Amino acid sequence: MNAVEELVKRVVAGDLAAYETFVKRFQRLVGHIVFRMVDNQADREDIAQDVFVKIYQNLPGFQFECKVSTWIGKITFNTCANYLAKKKTPLLGDLGPKEATADDFTDDRARPDEMVEANDISSHLRREIAGLPVVYRTVLTFYHLEEMTYGEIARIMDLPMNTVKSHLFRARKALKERLMSKFLLEDLCR
């Protein structure tokens, strides 16, 4: 029995201190998903708490038929998707007006002196990620931050594996083009 299984066993037996350890272990995963999917800052922590309450309630029925992280990812994704459905926020909207255009290359490209301001590459990228459709943001999070496989992501999001792949490639291409429209390459290499 590995450490997580041992922890789950203690939680199911009613050990709340063990659940605190469990939450600490998986709060990074839940935080990543909730914060990427939900824009409203005021609701994020409440949703994350709801997720962990659901996990606690459903843990006795968990049979380890998949990885614990996949199971938690699915509960978190579904909870956020339900929240967004109530708010009538589409999971897969269009890529929006920020996609790179020819004008962006001439008008919007930052000058080197502007680069030292708060508008640095990483904060610009964070803003651009936040501007992507929810599904793209979520796939990027599972793949890059959680290092999940296409199969795991497909299982969590209930999507075909090819769709996951396609979302991932399109999202990264959109980000690359938006970055190119904003910054000169020599700025990136400094």
Contact call for residue 67 and another protein (CB under 8 A): no
| Footprint on residues 95-154 left by another protein (CB under 8 A) | 121-122, 125-126, 129, 140-141, 144-145
Q: Give the residue with the Cβ less far from another protein, 81 or 174.
A: 174
Distances (CA, A) of 6 to 12, 15, 20, 122, 141: 10, 12, 14, 39, 28
33: Cα within 13 Å, side-chain hemisphere: 30
121, 118, 99, 114: which is closest to 188 by C-alpha?
121
Contact call for residue 62 and another protein (CB under 8 A): no
Contact assessment for residue 96 and residue 131, using Cβ atoms and an 8 Å cutoff: yes
CA angle 130, 131, 132 (to 5 degrees): 95
Interface residue with another protein, options 4, 10, 12, 27 (CB under 8 A)? 27
176, 187, 181, 177: which is closest to 106 by C-alpha?
181
Stretches 12-20, 68-76, 77-85, 152-160: which one binds another protein (CB under 8 A)?
Answer: 12-20
Q: Give the residue with the Cβ less far from another protein, 13 or 88.
A: 13
Stretches 42-50, 75-83, 94-102, 110-118: which one binds another protein (CB under 8 A)?
Answer: 42-50
Interface residue with another protein, options 7, 8, 36, 167 (CB under 8 A)? 36
Contact assessment for residue 87 and residue 44, using Cβ atoms and an 8 Å cutoff: no
Token readout for 36 is 């990427």
Catalog residues that contact another protein under the rule CB under 8 A.
Answer: 16-17, 19-21, 23-24, 27-28, 30-32, 35-36, 45, 48-49, 52-53, 56, 121-122, 125-126, 129, 140-141, 144-145, 169, 172-173, 175-176, 179-180, 185, 188-189
